[in-house]
A and B are shown apart, each in its own frame.
Chain A
């Protein structure tokens, strides 16, 4: 019977339905095409940058990543100091930012009443909206002098025996870059942490309270221990942001390609050398070497962000599906 009904209905309407299908199909193809455009864009970025970087990668090979030699006149390039600068400044940023971000996320999600968490949350989110260049300007003219005259003398006195805090206070340098980066990645880490904490069911918190846990014990057992993998994902996302951050770092890190353990010393990162030298590259090989650094930065950002997103989404799925 259903067969009869469907055939009698299908015949008179057939042509019109086809038209509808056609319009729908065209619309679908168009929007799908634009979405595929994203993939095309990403792939062409890889191809274009790879092509430009190839001469330098071919010339120096693996040596490019393990030697510290940036001689623009002698056309000899090794990026080790830049890699060190990027990694070290990011580590300093994480050391400062991770406790602050996790703390503010806990405070906003778990402790603060609504009337307080909304405006404070806004202040933290706004940190992400301020342009990098403004952080650079502030870092260079406000933070660096402050570090030089107030913070670094204090650190030298308290921890001067550590090689990290050795030498004369300069203000501008690795420490300054790390602090500015910490401010810039805090909203990223905090907001992902907040998402992660929010994915934990209320019942898990009540389980702890019902057992007679204090508020802190509840946070430790029900929130922090439950969300370790999600928080790791958040930190990796912040790390990805720190790796690629350019302008603010360029303005406060001192821009010298050197590997010094002291955080007071100037340094150079992969991103900052691009900002400094790309527009005025001395030779084709120099330009290619710079592009190779950009390529490296690109690949690292793809890997770091890809894995972090994977970890966070897996965590959220687990929380949604499980309890």
Chain B
């Protein structure tokens, strides 16, 4: 693969919680407009991995990281790099919908823009509108933008969180099991949404659901006990895995 269309390049990444070695020597390349799924059993480092990509891992007390992550050619762990700036270039959607309880639907989406220093009201409105459309939520909330974000249903809240992340137009979106707290219908809508998103941005999604990975991702990585066992085209991972551990997992013989 050429370096030119690689948006994210991870080189020998290690992470710890205190003395627990949570990620071991991960190196991987993510290309522009990829949807990459991270699969594997619980507690194997998938979430830790994506939290290293926007430097959220280090917010936990006792957590440590070593290695390099290049976002658009710049090492986010390089000297003098400010996580605040990096996190604006790489959005995140969490496991449970977490809209800001004190803010309205509109403000939940606008907050990222306002933090970025966007003052012009029409400009903010335009971006909020775009983000809510992009998250397929606009039609449902256009008449109640002033209501609190928490008044929406779970699935709507999660799409609100996606809109919030999209509003600042990051080139990369991290999703940490975004549908695990949702019902099947909401899950379906979010999967559809991810399919649309890959036209414009790169998505890295953690999922515990292999069918979901097969449905939405063009590339898949399998994590086990802090190691990235195998990474490749989704079809190849599911149909012709190279590593026996991957095969055991995808054929359901794990554990």
Contacts and interface: CB of A to CB of B under 8 A. Distances in A.
Contacts of A203: 94-96, 98
Interface string B81-97: 00111111001101111
Interface in A176-210: 200-201, 203-204, 206-210
B88 A212 contact: yes
Nearest to A318: B101
Interface string B233-250: 000000000000000000
A297 interface: no
Contact of B100 (A207, A214, A228, A318): A207
A282 interface: no
B102 A221 contact: yes
Contacts of A76: none
A322 interface: yes
A322 B112 CA distance: 23
Contacts of A20: none
B165 A210 contact: yes
A222 interface: yes
A323 B97 CA distance: 7
Interface secondary structure of A, over-half rule? helix
Interface in A122-181: none
Contacts of A206: 56, 59, 92, 94, 98
A212 B100 contact: no
A213 B88 CA distance: 8
B96 A210 contact: no
B103 interface: yes
Interface in A302-323: 318-319, 322-323
Contacts of A322: 101, 150
A116 to B, nearest CB: 12
B115 A217 contact: yes
A122 to B, nearest CB: 19
Interface of A: 113-114, 200-201, 203-204, 206-214, 217, 221-222, 225-228, 318-319, 322-323
